[in-house]
Structure 1
């Protein structure tokens, strides 16, 4: 049984004193956070000072969904009237006018792994579609008819596009353009989804009739183990830490739960004063953001040591023993790099050929120049050093 981490208070709280917070997300490679709320407003915050940098106006209804592009340059938001707006993340200025995307509320959006498309989903019973929008032209490129009310859309973060769609009836998974599978996931509606970083697992959250989280093996699309229990009302949101070691979930039971993926146990419970609509890890993995009907975004410290990676590096023209590794944690242009040093302190290289995330399942490869800040590294000597002690 996992031991609960005694976290009782957030490290920071952002107040939106009069309005429900529907969504919150960290903006990668910046000191900013973006939120959407029921006052038709999208807000860009400085996470260090708590200052609202920009109130982004343009929606005609409650702003119920938002997504930030993988490169941190764009924000997409959707409202209760079915409108979609794209924004520049660094300034909060609109990239588009309001686009009529659906006939009713857009509750879920996501960017494709290459940021070429935004996919939107409407919760309207007379819609039942997901639509794809070209991020160059912001015109619709295609749509999928899902046959049931759609609650959530989520792309796996890298590789060949894998899109999961959660509906009242099932989960549908597309790989590229092809429908890979559809399967019954919960006893009633599936409301939330999250992929593991290595794409080998998909997590799903159920509604009030089945407020569990279920884990799915993406090689067979079968359930892994028993449902994760703890929430007493619907699971509105799930997010997986980029190390693959933890997940967070938000619920109408006024709590955010932090789960340890190795044993599927709750290790921390974060309390809100009302239903929690959204919860997500910050881009650098050091904090958890959560928001909801208590009209605030709370920032909680993520457990230390959440990243464990093994690195196989290429050092051109060098046959020296690697003695130390330095990680760049800043959100500057040099972030997401690993620096290797020899025993005399001379820098050997600053990039790696491959990173293996230590997850609960198969290890997945991550390309050069990581998409997230790197905080620690674990070496396996037999993989790192050859007999004459140079990096492979």
Structure 2
């Protein structure tokens, strides 16, 4: 596994950045708007902080003894970071303290412990997912020990252990009502929990494979991705199944919401990246690399897609070869690591007053927009 992270501009067809300092598979990404930073976790035992303006790694967080599987952030203004690892611990990091780690302590003073300010232990097996519950000052972690633990973010104490899954818990999402938590498991189910009472409210069933990722930011909607290659939307308050997307050809490993104000999610699998505007248009970006997670960096100007979609745009990650040549045509595809934006799936129009149809004759509606931009982050795992 090369551990490379590719940042693509979906409109220009250019690979803007390749971040390649990880030495093993990258397991998670998180974009921090304040400071234009990207966080990444990896099986190389580290979490890295990248400055996207320069494309450089500005800090490597080291301390876990096994693969780092997940990460989240407490506050974008100070960038306090949470990581979970196969070593069974959560760690809380303050990157601002990193500069003090190399400084020799003054005489009579204790040595600075560096950017890791706390280690939370309690799980009996690897931690596979973790999130910060901002609304209640808690942390949630899911583990291969089949439990979800809730931790007090201030005292660092485990306050509740949620049991009920009969296989590893691999995904978590906070729901918009600020009290409920969703967990996805290798037992193929999703459980909705009341975090105050520590009880399971309902179990959502329908997937036939592990529920690898969840997204629940939109009120009244929970979206799940699974090893069964499908993306499903649910009403978490009733447990009712909404839409089922079967466009992926491999297991769905990541979901992120786009903040364009027009119901979009981006989903990724080991084969492709889909942008799924709910409930209609589907924009397909295909790739032959292993894509483990996706994260929004900027937003999208839908008006420009009419020009871009006139033909295929190749995002080529071969060394030194851009996906689009100087004359605007697709670059030579000399590598198996290409991402292609194809016009065969859907067509988008500027005129929001009229519906448009794709080649499958499915009715779609165009969207109103501000001037926005979208970049897609892709993780290479070969």
Q: TM-score range by the shorter chain?
A: 0.5 to 0.7
Q: What is the match of residue 230 of structure 2?
A: 212
Q: What is the match of residue 142 of structure 2?
A: 121
SS at match of 2:92: strand
Structure 1's 70 and 229: CA in aligned 2 closer, same or farther, altered over 3 A? farther
SS at match of 2:55: coil
Q: How many residues align?
A: 281
Q: What is the match of residue 112 of structure 1?
A: 133
TM-score (norm 1): 0.64
| Contact 1:171/1:184 (8 A) holds in 2 | yes
Matched ranges for 1:27-176 at <5 A: 27-72=32-77, 73-90=79-96, 94-114=115-135, 116-122=137-143, 124=144, 127-149=145-167, 150-156=169-175, 158-167=176-185, 168-175=187-194, 176=196
| Contact 1:85/1:94 (8 A) holds in 2 | no
Q: What is the match of residue 291 of structure 2?
A: 276
Deviation by residue 1:58-92 (Cα, 9 ceiling, x = unmatched): 11011111111254532110111212110125556
Deviation by residue 1:145-197 (Cα, 9 ceiling, x = unmatched): 123221111112x5432210112141111234343211213023211111142
Deviation by residue 1:256-298 (Cα, 9 ceiling, x = unmatched): 22112131x4213153x5311111223x6469xxxxxxxxxx9
Shift of 1:49: 0.4
| Contact 1:130/1:143 (8 A) holds in 2 | yes
Distance in 2 of aligned mates of 1:280 and 1:376: 20
Matched ranges for 1:292-307 at <5 A: none
Deviation by residue 1:28-80 (Cα, 9 ceiling, x = unmatched): 42221111111111111111101111111111011111111254532110111
Shift of 1:9: 4.2
Deviation by residue 1:319-373 (Cα, 9 ceiling, x = unmatched): xxxxxxxxxxxxxxxxxxxxxxxxxxxxxxxxxxxxxxxxx9xxxxxxxxxxxxx
Structure 1's 215 and 71: CA in aligned 2 closer, same or farther, altered over 3 A? same
Cα RMSD (Å): 3.1
SS at match of 2:293: strand
Q: Which one of the candidate residues 249, 262, 266 is aligned to 1:248?
A: 266
TM-score (norm 2): 0.66
Q: What is the match of residue 351 of structure 1?
A: none
Structure 1's 187 and 266: CA in aligned 2 closer, same or farther, altered over 3 A? same
Structure 1's 205 and 14: CA in aligned 2 closer, same or farther, altered over 3 A? same
Shift of 1:375: 6.6
Q: Does 1:24 align with 2:29?
A: yes
Distance in 1 of aligned mates of 2:300 and 2:97: 24
Comparing 112-121 and 94-103, the one that deviates more? 94-103
Distance in 1 of aligned mates of 2:150 and 2:200: 15
SS at match of 1:49: coil
Unaligned runs of 5+ in 2: 1-9, 99-113, 302-337, 342-347, 349-364, 373-382
Comparing 25-34 and 75-84, the one that deviates more? 25-34
Structure 1's 300 and 69: CA in aligned 2 closer, same or farther, altered over 3 A? farther
Q: Does 1:221 align with 2:221?
A: no
Q: What is the match of residue 350 of structure 1?
A: none
Distance in 2 of aligned mates of 1:299 and 1:100: 40
| Contact 1:112/1:161 (8 A) holds in 2 | no
Distance in 1 of aligned mates of 2:237 and 2:151: 29
Q: Which one of the candidate residues 232, 242, 251 is aligned to 1:234?
A: 251
Which of structure 1's runs of 4+ aligned residues deviate more than 4 A? 5-9, 89-93, 284-287, 298-301, 374-377
Shift of 1:120: 0.6
| Contact 2:285/2:340 (8 A) holds in 1 | no
